[in-house]
A and B are shown apart, each in its own frame.
Chain A
Amino acid sequence: MNVDYLELTDLTVSFDGFVAVDRVNMSVLPGDLRFLIGPNGAGKTTLIDAVSGLVPATGTARWAGENLVGRKVHRIARLGVGRTFQTATVFEELTVAQNLDIAAGARRGLLTLARRRTSLPEVVVKAMDTIGLTDLADALAGTLSHGQKQWLEIGMVLVQDARLIMLDEPVAGMSAEEKDETGRLLQRIAADLTVVVVEHDMDFMRAFATSVTVLHAGKVLAEGSVAQVQADPRVQEVYLGPGEHSKAVAEAVLGEGA
Chain B
Amino acid sequence: MNLKSFLSSRWAVAAGFAVAAVLLLVVAPALLSSFRLGLLGKYLCYAMVAVGIGLAWGRGGMLVLGQGVFFGLGAYIMAMHLKLADAPPSTGVPDFMALISSDGVPAWWEPFRSGAVTLIAIVVVPAAVAVLLGLATFRRRVRGAYFAILSQALAAAFAILLIGNPRSTGGSTGLNNFKGFFGFSLRDPANRMTLYVIAVVALLAMVAVARQLMVSRYGELLVACRDAEERVRFLGYDPAAIKTFAYAVAAVMAGVAGALFVPIVGIVSPNDVGIVPSIGLLIGVAIGGRTTLLGPVLGAIAVAWAQTSLSERFPSGWTYAQGLLFMLVVAFLPGGLASLRPIVRGWRERQRPSRTADSAGVPSLSGSSR
Contact = CB atoms under 8 A, between A and B. Distances in A.
Contacts of B1: 118
Max chain A C-beta neighbours (<10 A), residue from B215, B224, B238: B224
Contact of B234 (A73, A92, A138): A73
Given A77-B235, A138-B363, A94 B212 contact: no
Contacts of B7: none
A254 to B, nearest CB: 33
A99 B217 CA distance: 11
Contacts of A103: 235
B233 interface: yes
Contact of B220 (A78, A102, A156): A102
Interface in A61-107: 73-74, 77-78, 82-83, 85, 89-95, 97-99, 101-103, 105-107
A160 interface: yes
A108 to B, nearest CB: 7
Nearest to B227: A91
A114 B238 contact: no
A93 B217 contact: no
A74 B218 contact: no
A139 interface: yes
B365 A97 contact: yes
B234 A82 contact: yes
Contacts of A252: none
Interface in B324-370: 362-367
A175 B86 CA distance: 77
B216 interface: yes
A83 B233 CA distance: 11
Interface in B212-245: 212-213, 215-218, 220-221, 223-224, 227-228, 230-239
A36 B271 CA distance: 61
Contacts of A85: 231
A102 B213 CA distance: 15
B233 A77 contact: yes
Given A91-B227, A95-B365, A116-B366, A160 B236 contact: yes
Contacts of A102: 217, 220-221, 224, 232, 235
Contact of A74 (B215, B223, B233, B365): B233
Interface string B233-273: 11111110000000000000000000000000000000000
Contact of B231 (A89, A93, A116, A117): A89
Max chain B C-beta neighbours (<10 A), residue from A92, A94, A99, A107: A94
A105 B216 CA distance: 13
A112 interface: yes
Contact of B217 (A90, A113, A138): A113
Given A93-B227, A138-B363, A139-B362, A114 B218 contact: yes
A52 interface: yes
B45 to A, nearest CB: 26
A113 B231 contact: no
A108 B224 contact: no
A99 B220 CA distance: 9
Contact of A116 (B216, B233, B238): B216
Contacts of B236: 74, 77-78, 106-107, 160
A87 to B, nearest CB: 11
B216 A94 contact: no
Interface in A143-165: 156, 160
Contacts of B218: 113-114
A29 interface: no
A93 to B, nearest CB: 6
Contact of B235 (A139, A140, A156): A156
A74 to B, nearest CB: 5
Nearest to A137: B365
Contacts of B234: 52, 73-74, 77, 82-83
Max chain A C-beta neighbours (<10 A), residue from B212, B227, B232, B234: B234
Contacts of A89: 228, 230-231
A140 B224 contact: no
B212 A114 contact: yes
Nearest to B229: A89
Contacts of B367: 98, 116
B58 to A, nearest CB: 12
A85 B232 CA distance: 13
Given A89-B230, A91-B224, A112-B217, A160 B235 contact: yes
A94 B224 contact: yes
A103 B228 CA distance: 13
Nearest to B212: A114
A89 B231 CA distance: 6
Contacts of A78: 236
Nearest to A156: B235
Contacts of B224: 91, 94, 99, 102
Contacts of A112: 217
Contact of A106 (B216, B235, B363, B364): B235
Given A114-B216, A138-B362, A106 B228 contact: no
A85 B235 CA distance: 13
Given A101-B217, A102-B221, A108-B217, A90 B228 contact: yes
11 contacts: A73-B233, A74-B234, A77-B235, A77-B236, A89-B231, A90-B231, A91-B227, A105-B217, A113-B217, A114-B217, A117-B217
Given A114-B212, A116-B217, 8 more contacts: A85-B231, A91-B223, A103-B235, A106-B237, A107-B236, A113-B221, A114-B216, A116-B215
Interface of B: 1, 212-213, 215-218, 220-221, 223-224, 227-228, 230-239, 362-367
Interface of A: 52, 73-74, 77-78, 82-83, 85, 89-95, 97-99, 101-103, 105-108, 112-118, 137-140, 156, 160
